[in-house]
């Protein structure tokens, strides 16, 4: 067994684990189980750190093109899932911020710093999503 084969299998295992964590994160976001997100985020960061520490720059490839394609597809899928989860989290954050402003009166000021009235469009919260 070539030394790179062991490193490759460990990286592949970490990538598969990361993909499963992203799937769990998506399910938590869809179902509203926000208490699980902290645990998943911690595990994701650990996986990312492990992957980064194992990456060797400009390592010569000993794998065949089928393994390379599988790895590229796995990485692309992980990036897609992570981006989607980030978009969901951003949307939830905007929704929660808007709800907070409506319920607790932290709406943008009616008047500008110069003392002039702002237009209705600048003060309008509902429908801004």
29-64 pLDDT tens trace: 999 888 899 899 999 999 989 988 887 665 555 556
Question: Per-domain residue ranges for the chain?
Answer: 3-106
**pLDDT at residue 5, rounded to an integer:** 63
* pLDDT over 90 percentage in the chain: 32
* pLDDT over 70 percentage in the chain: 70
**pLDDT at residue 1, rounded to an integer:** 45
Q: What mean pLDDT, rounded, does the chain reach? A: 79
Pairwise CA distance, residues 99 & 78, whole Å:
31
pTM: 0.66
Q: CA–CA distance from 96 to each of 57, 58, 74, 102, 108 (Å)?
A: 42, 44, 33, 10, 16
Tell me which residue of 92, 104, 98 sits closest to 125, measured CA to CA. Answer: 98
Cβ–Cβ contacts within 10 Å for residue 20, how many? 12
* Beta carbons of 110 and 118 less than 8 angstroms apart: yes
* Beta carbons of 72 and 64 less than 8 angstroms apart: no
Q: What are phi and psi of 97, to 5 degrees?
A: -65, -45
pLDDT tens digits for range 7-31: 678 888 999 999 999 999 999 999 9
DSSP letters along 33-80, please?
-GGGHHHHHHHHHHHHHHHHHH--TTPPP-S-HHHHHHHHHHHHHHHH
Helices (H) and strands (E) in the chain — how many of each?
Answer: 4, 0
Q: What does the DSSP 8-state code read for residue 116? A: P
Tokens of residue 52, six digits: 């980064």
């Amino acid at each position: 067994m070539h030394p790179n084969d062991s490193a490759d299998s460990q990286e592949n295992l970490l990538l598969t684990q990361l993909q499963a964590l992203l799937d769990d994160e998506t399910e938590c976001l869809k179902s509203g189980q926000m208490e699980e997100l902290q645990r998943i985020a911690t595990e994701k960061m650990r996986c990312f750190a492990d992957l980064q520490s194992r990456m060797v720059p400009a390592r010569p490839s000993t794998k065949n093109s089928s393994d390379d394609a599988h790895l590229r597809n796995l990485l692309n899928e992980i990036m897609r899932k992570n981006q989607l989860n980030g978009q969901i989290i951003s949307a939830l954050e905007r929704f929660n911020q808007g709800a907070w402003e409506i319920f607790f009166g932290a709406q943008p000021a009616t008047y500008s710093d110069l003392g002039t009235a702002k237009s209705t469009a600048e003060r309008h919260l509902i429908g801004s999503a």
